[in-house]
Amino acid sequence: MFVSLDLFLFYVFWDAMLIPMYFLIGSGDTTTRVYAAVKFILYTMAGSVLMLLAILSLAYPPQRSRRR
């Protein structure tokens, strides 16, 4: 249980990191920077969904049926 709480906090702060990164990448006057910032957010969020699924699979392992 302790490990799953730490992984959940890691996931929360990983996603919270995206907000300042968007502004750091997108700051500027060219449209290519905004395009790069949006693309960065989309790809990182896609990876975050996969990471969330992996964390949930560690927190809630599949139950095995008991056969006698």
14-27 pLDDT, tens per residue?
889 999 999 998 88
pTM of the predicted protein model: 0.71
Q: Is 55:6 a contact under the CB 8 Å cutoff?
A: no
Query: pLDDT tens digits, residue range 36-52?
Result: 999 999 999 999 999 99
Give the residue from 47, 37, 38 showing the smallest Cα distance to 14.
Answer: 47
Quote the CA–CA distance of 51 and 47 in Å, as a whole number. Answer: 6
Quote the CA–CA distance of 16 and 30 in Å, as a whole number. Answer: 25
